[in-house]
């Protein structure tokens, strides 16, 4: 059976930093004035859910849902214009598709993630896309990985995850699958090495590593 490769999105295949930052600041302005929130405070949490991110910058629990709703409406308007593919991302997916079955596991909203991948002409390579709304427990919980594998019917295959944060590594470890971490995103090698020694500079090198493993 072909192996299965599950890709994270932000920091692994795409760079939507500009869209995320603009949408956060827009939401903060709409709901009572912008707080003293730096871009670094926001980007340091990318990979987590929006609930966690807004809580992490100091939004009260009772106001988080309203902030998220405003964020999502604005993000959907600007995301395709302000998101780019990371270097080697298309090459990585094309290469992976020659020997593996592919899926996406992300904490982003699945609907908007699918629209982005269709915009880049890449959704056709993926059998499944599991987003935040498809699970109760996002990464680092293994539920999104289990959900993807359930839909793919590939539990007997060799399975790998490629991602740029410790959330991806921990979810993979808890799901009992392999993981290649990449430094193309939001966590550096030192941070990633707290959980894994399998680290590559980008998704293409990660795919080549998996291909060599058989």
Query: CA torsion angle for 13, 14, 15, 17 (degrees, to 10)?
Result: -110
Residue percentage of the chain with pLDDT more than 70: 97
The mean per-residue pLDDT over the stretch 69-86 comes to 96
pTM greater than the 0.85 cutoff: yes
Class (C level, CATH) for 17-78: mainly alpha
Q: Which pLDDT score, from 0 to 100, does residue 30 have?
A: 94
Where do the CATH 1.10.150 domains begin and end in the chain? 17-78
Q: Between these two residues, 37 and 156, which has the higher pLDDT value?
A: 37
Fold (topology level) of 4-15+84-213: Rossmann fold (3.40.50)
Where do the CATH 3.40.50.1000 domains begin and end in the chain? 4-15+84-213
User: Which residues make Cβ contacts (< 8 Å) with residue 95, sequence separation at least 6?
Assistant: 204, 207, 208, 211
Copy the structure tokens of residue 39. Answer: 């871009």
Q: Between these two residues, 117 and 213, which has the higher pLDDT value?
A: 117
How many residues belong to the chain?
A: 214
């Amino acid at each position: 059976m072909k192996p299965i490769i599950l890709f994270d999105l932000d920091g692994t295949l795409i760079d939507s930093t500009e869209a995320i930052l603009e949408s956060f600041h827009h939401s903060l302005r709409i709901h009572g004035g912008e707080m003293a929130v730096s871009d670094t405070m926001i980007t340091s949490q990318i990979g987590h859910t929006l609930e966690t991110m807004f809580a992490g910058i100091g939004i009260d629990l009772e106001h988080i849902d309203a902030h998220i709703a405003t964020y999502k409406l604005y993000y959907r308007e600007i995301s395709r214009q302000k998101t780019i593919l990371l270097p080697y991302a298309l090459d990585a997916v094309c290469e992976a598709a020659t020997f593996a079955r592919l899926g996406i596991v992300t904490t982003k909203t699945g609907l908007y993630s699918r629209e982005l991948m269709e915009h880049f002409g890449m959704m056709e390579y993926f059998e499944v896309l599991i987003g935040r709304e498809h699970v109760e427990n996002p990464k680092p919980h293994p539920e999104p990985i289990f959900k993807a594998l359930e839909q793919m019917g590939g539990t007997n295959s060799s399975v790998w995850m490629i991602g740029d944060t410790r959330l991806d590594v921990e979810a993979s470890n808890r799901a009992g699958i392999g993981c290649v971490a990449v430094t193309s995103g939001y966590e550096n090698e030192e941070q990633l090495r707290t959980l894994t020694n399998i680290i590559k500079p980008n998704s293409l090198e990660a795919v080549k590593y998996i291909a060599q493993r058989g």
